[in-house]
Amino acid sequence: MLELLHKFGLPAAYSAQAPAIDSVISWIHILMMILYVGWGAFFIYTLIRFRRKRNPNANPKGITSHFSTYSEAGVAIFEIIILVALSFPVWASRVEEIPERENAEVIRVVAQQFKWNILYPGEDGIFGRTSPDLIDDEALNFIGIDRKDEAAKDDIIPTQGHLHLPVDKNIIVELTTRDVIHSFSIPVMRIKQDAIPGIRIPTWFTPTQTGSWEIACAQLCGNSHYQMKGFVHVHTQRGYEAYMNTLTIVQEVDDYDYTLDAEYTLSQVIDALKKGNARDAEELAFQALSQAEVAKAEKEKADDEDDDWGEEW
């Protein structure tokens, strides 16, 4: 059944939790297929069996057989099995068995019309303070992070719409939105969770394949809803660390004149992942990291020289 569904557009599954969800999807489709064929055949049968020519007068008694009752009961039993034996356990596991935060990568996603903002806690593992009052789109502070807060100083905010993940590690996405209701959907991970203003909802999964795929908004959220797509980039563990360390340094240097090379290499990392080339991506991430380190050293040197210049005056 699953193969048939893949042929009709079900995307490939690249998370450890996907097979359980796919089995529910398969069983539901099997039941729907039986119902579709069954009801269709029954409809055609009634058209022929109860045609006017054969039944010139209506029969007020109608059908006396109990076949329809039995088939209705059969359908109900099948549905109860799908619901209780298959869907409930899968759903319970999805919402209750959230992995320990220590054994997972915890990332915040803040939806906005019509972008995905991603926030990483950085080295300290603690998310800095954010406040709606601090949101300033012109200053590119889309989630209102308070950079004066000690915990916020190392927080990493990648380019909007780009979620970076390590492969084979539990990921907890804490999801919220700064405006209307959105729905965070990564079809290849079988993840779909509504983002509700004012609350933070955890959703979790374990990517099993390196590569680059689309994040979609699965909730009609305004006139440019169709534009609200993002990307999930799944790196090798080492590639991920190198990529995030590079982002940290680039953010620290905060001067495009210096970080130009590193940022260009980071874009090549994404290109390599899109081509499914995780090894190359890893190598490029390390190259970007050394370029960022050079940029940092150059910037520090330039700042020192500026200071000396100032002292002379």
Q: Which is nearer to Cu ion, 182 or 296 (CB)?
A: 182
Q: Which is nearer to Cu ion, 143 or 152 (CB)?
A: 143
In terms of phi and psi (left: phi > 0; alpha: psi -120 to 50; beta: otherwise), the region of 100 is: beta
CA within 13 Å, CB half, 98: 13
Residue type, 294: V
Token duo for residue 248:
């940290």
Q: State the residue for tokens 């699965």.
A: 218
Q: Which is nearer to Cu ion, 86 or 175 (CB)?
A: 175
Cα distance between residue 134 and residue 118, in whole Å:
16
Helix/strand/coil for 164: strand
Q: Using CB under 5 A, which of 110, 188, 228, 288 touches Cu ion?
A: 228
Q: Using CB under 5 A, which of 178, 182, 235, 299 touches Cu ion?
A: 182
Q: For residues 9-48, which are near Cu ion according to CB under 5 A?
A: none
**Residues contacting residue 301 through CB under 8 Å, at least 6 positions apart:** none
Q: Which is nearer to Cu ion, 111 or 272 (CB)?
A: 111
Q: How many residues bind Cu ion (CB under 5 A)?
A: 4
Cis peptide before 114 (omega within 30 of 0): yes
CA within 13 Å, CB half, 181: 6
Q: Cβ 115 to Cu ion, closest distance in Å? A: 9
Q: Cβ 182 to Cu ion, closest distance in Å? A: 3
Q: Using CB under 5 A, which of 189, 217, 234, 269 touches Cu ion?
A: 217
Q: Does 221 bind Cu ion (CB under 5 A)?
A: yes
Q: Which stretch binds Cu ion (CB under 5 A): 35-43, 97-105, 149-157, 219-227?
A: 219-227
Q: Cβ 281 to Cu ion, closest distance in Å? A: 28
Q: Does 189 bind Cu ion (CB under 5 A)?
A: no
Q: Cβ 225 to Cu ion, closest distance in Å? A: 5
Measure the CA dihedral 123/124/129/134, to 10°: -20
Q: Which stretch binds Cu ion (CB under 5 A): 132-140, 154-162, 180-188, 296-304?
A: 180-188
**Residues contacting residue 181 through CB under 8 Å, at least 6 positions apart:** 194, 195, 196, 197, 219, 221
Q: Which stretch binds Cu ion (CB under 5 A): 4-12, 88-96, 116-124, 209-217?
A: 209-217
First CA to last CA distance, the chain: 79
Q: Which is nearer to Cu ion, 216 or 284 (CB)?
A: 216
Residue 150: CB atoms within 10 A of its CB come to 11
Q: Which is nearer to Cu ion, 218 or 270 (CB)?
A: 218
Q: Cβ 183 to Cu ion, closest distance in Å? A: 7
Binding site for Cu ion (CB under 5 A): 182, 217, 221, 228
